[in-house]
Amino acid sequence: MAVVKPQDYQSQLASWRSALSSGNPGLIATRARELSEAQSRVDTDFHFTVTDFMWRPVGMLGSDLIDASGTDPRNNVGTARIKAKGDSDLIDHFMGCRSTMVGIIMETAGLRFPFYVKVHRYTYEKGAWTGVLECKSIWSILDYLTIWPSWALPIQTQPFSHAVFMWGLCTAIEAMVSESAMRIQAGFTEFINNALSLNPDMRAWWGTVTQALKRDGLSVNTFRKMLRTPIYVKRTNPFLDASPVAIRTVRMETCAQVIRDVTRAYGVDTSMDLWLPGDPQPDKWAKLSQPTYVFSTKDRSQITGPTKTVKDAVIRTVVDLGGSMGVLSSLIKEVKGFDGVFKAPKLGVDFEPPWAILVAPDGGNDGSVISAEIADHTPEGWQHIIGGRSPKWLNDLMNATFSWMLDSLQIILGFTGVPSDLLSGFLNNAFLAFELVQLYSRRDEMGPYHPAIEQFHATASAPYNVETLFGFINAFFDSRGYTAAQVVFRNGEQLALGRDIYKGGLMSLVYHGRTKMVTDYIENILWRVTPTDREVLVQIGDGRKDEAPLAKIQRLITGAMEAIAVLTLSPQNG
């Protein structure tokens, strides 16, 4: 989703600059007021531009449009369903999606949503033909970028078992996408990959270069454009990246799969915007001149650190660890209304509350809120049991003891023939196989009659170790009472996307007579066009409970151990 300024705003901006140069105070004040009104006004018109495979306009879906709807979720593929009249001149172009890309750009309220046609259905019903387009956003290109263990080497030579990404989460994701895009767009291993794979089509041996020459001709800028087509990654300064620390090993997974996994518990938002000639350059190094997919990341957790550098990412990790384990409670506090997020102002780690606050209307009153569901979930158990297996040393000791007893008995009684391991496994997993912890404060709050008393969590390993300690902390967090919210409101009435709020950003909802508040991320943007409605809707929250904060630390430790194994070329199992 890209933010674009309407043409009337641009013209009024030029008018204001002209008034400013005139030096007339009255004219300057008038033009400034008009400019302010134009900037705050939300354009509710929808414009659908149909393009060819190079994002060159082919036509507009004006009166041919019957209805349309779509979504733009956080860190996932957006979708759209567009229904057009069967006698539209564009139907033949839509049918071309079976062999090439058919692009559709939807623009509204200063926002741009680029899609491509995944399926076109030409349907006859009720005496009329219609064309139904099932579209996906260009973010889906990440579903088709595979992460190789060694991206710069031919596919036949992959000495490292996994690719390793570790740094601030924004930097790690950007490196992941840029490496995969560079491998495709530079094409420097295509010759070896195709020749050794015995591909008989020799054009594919230099496919990327051939396509660049066909598209742009031979010039100084040909290869510069080639390296930026179709993806350009807008990079974060790694030394100023204060997003959460992440360590991830990847082997032949897609970028989209990894992004969905690693961002699920964090406030990092990714976007894939369509840059068109005339748009501002994404950064000073881009120098784009043709349609380009610009990938970027943004940490929207609004947790700030003391140094404003990558050191803050480490400090945040320490604060999260202390908060999730309940230590240093005098320094580390949980953010009110935002479960699983911790701050430590005395250590310089603070939370900046979102200034965009949505007030839910009282019953019977109109407002921008279309629907809201705030679900309060009761606790699920004040006593937890973890385990299932005794320690290996204890099982081995018991097996050895029973074997010694059988051998001794045979010697004393003077007979043979009984195998010494006859009782092997007897009373295994009978002692120290389970560990139990009771949360007395939760038991006291729940009362004696609450049915949710006890939970058992089976594990494949023995308890009474550090792993079990982590398991208990996660179990306590997952079984706590919590509030989850899901709110949908109209864009532009109180708050406007691209001006006041952003996809993936934090918002707070005040409800219940303005006595309660819940904070969550903007998870989805929904839009629809019907004969009677033209709306852009914004969804806060996904209605699910948050992940236990200690689980993030566990993933970090597991990722570090896997990374060490990969970088030291340790033997792989299987």
Could you give the count of Cα atoms lying within 13 Å of 60 in the half-sphere of its Cβ? 5
Q: In angstroms, how far is CA 164 from the centroid of its own chain?
A: 19
Query: Which percentage of the chain shows pLDDT scores above 90?
Result: 30
For the cut 80, the answer to whether the pLDDT of residue 364 exceeds it is no
CA dihedral 254, 258, 259, 263 (to 10 degrees): 170
pLDDT at 149: 93
Neighbours of 57 (CB within 10 A): 11
Higher pLDDT, 282 or 216: 282
Q: 573 vs 502, which has greater pLDDT?
A: 502
pLDDT at 423: 76
pLDDT at 573: 55
Mean pLDDT for the chain overall: 84
pLDDT: which is higher, 298 or 33:
298
Query: Is a pLDDT exceeding 80 seen at residue 443?
Result: yes
Task: Give the residue, 201 or 135, on which the prediction is more confident.
Answer: 135
The CA distance from 192 to 204, in Å, is 11
**At what angle are helices 549-567 and 311-325 packed, to 10 degrees?**
130
C-alpha to C-alpha distance for 229 and 212, rounded to whole angstroms: 9
Question: Minimum mean pLDDT among 247-256, 418-427, 444-453: which range?
Answer: 418-427
Burial class (CB in 10 A: 0-12, 13-18, 19+), 330: exposed
Q: Tell me the HSE value of 570 on the side-chain side, using a 13 A CA sphere.
A: 8
Closest by alpha carbon to 243, among 191, 145, 185, 171? 171
Cα gap 507→518, rounded to integer Å: 9
Residue 89 has pLDDT above 70, yes or no: yes
Asked if the model's pLDDT at residue 574 lies above 50, the reply is no
As a whole number, mean pLDDT of residues 437-445 equals 88
The pLDDT value given to residue 32: 64
488 or 78, greater pLDDT = 78
Q: Which residue has the tokens 């005794």?
A: 390
Contact yes or no for 184/151 (Cβ under 8 A):
no
Percentage of the chain exceeding pLDDT 70: 90
The residue with greater pLDDT, 467 or 164, is: 164
pLDDT band at 458 (very low <50, low <70, confident <90, very high): confident
User: At a CB cut-off of 8 Å and minimum separation 6, what does 375 contact?
Assistant: 483, 484, 485, 543
CA 274 to mean position of chain CA atoms: 19
Pairing of strands 303-304, 292-299: unpaired
Q: Look at residue 67 and tell me whether its pLDDT is greater than 80.
A: yes
Tracing tokens 């204890």 back to the chain, one arrives at 394
The strand pairing partners of 485, in sequence order, are 374
What are the tens digits of pLDDT across the range 492-539? Answer: 777 777 777 788 888 888 888 888 888 888 888 888 888 777 778 888
Unique residue bearing structure tokens 């000073």: 284
User: Of 99-108, 155-164, 483-492, where does mean pLDDT reach its minimum?
Assistant: 483-492
Q: Phi and psi at residue 324, in whole multiples of 5°? A: -70, -25
Residue 143 in this model has a pLDDT that exceeds 90: yes
Strand pairing category for 350-351 and 292-299: unpaired
Span 396-421, average pLDDT: 81
- The Cα angle at residue 373 between residues 367 and 379, in degrees rounded to 5: 145
Amino acid at 539: Q
- Per-residue pLDDT tens digits for 17-44: 676 677 666 666 676 666 655 555 556 6
Integer Cα distance of 369 and 306 in angstroms? 37
- Spatial contact of 84 and 91, defined as CB atoms under 8 Å apart: yes
217 burial via Cβ count (<10 Å: 0-12, 13-18, 19+): exposed
Q: Are strands 482-490 and 369-377 parallel, antiparallel or unpaired?
A: antiparallel
- What three-state secondary structure class fits 121? strand
